[in-house]
Amino acid sequence: MYSTALTAQVLDLRGGFSTVWSERFTSKVRSNARKAERRDVTVESDNTGRLVPVFDMLYRSSVDRWAQDRGHPLS
């Protein structure tokens, strides 16, 4: 029998943006968010499934990059 570990992330949003930003995000997360802003990263939300193929392509390329970084075979 095989099992797969599943993970969920929970972020307490109480207190509003400033509390979440300063007290709940790590300095690395804040730094990466500022870097994304400087690079004009655009975030798009989709609840229709229209962007699933885009997500799949991005995810697969990330998995390949992570594997390569760790010396694992590519998918």
Copy the structure tokens of residue 67: 């594997």
Whole-angstrom distance, CA of residue 41 vs CA of residue 5:
31
Per-residue model confidence as pLDDT tens digits over 1-22: 778 887 888 999 999 999 999 9
DSSP conformation class of 22:
I
Full-model pTM? 0.56
* pLDDT, tens digit (0-9, with 9 covering 90-100), for 21-66: 999 999 999 999 999 999 999 999 999 999 999 999 999 999 999 8
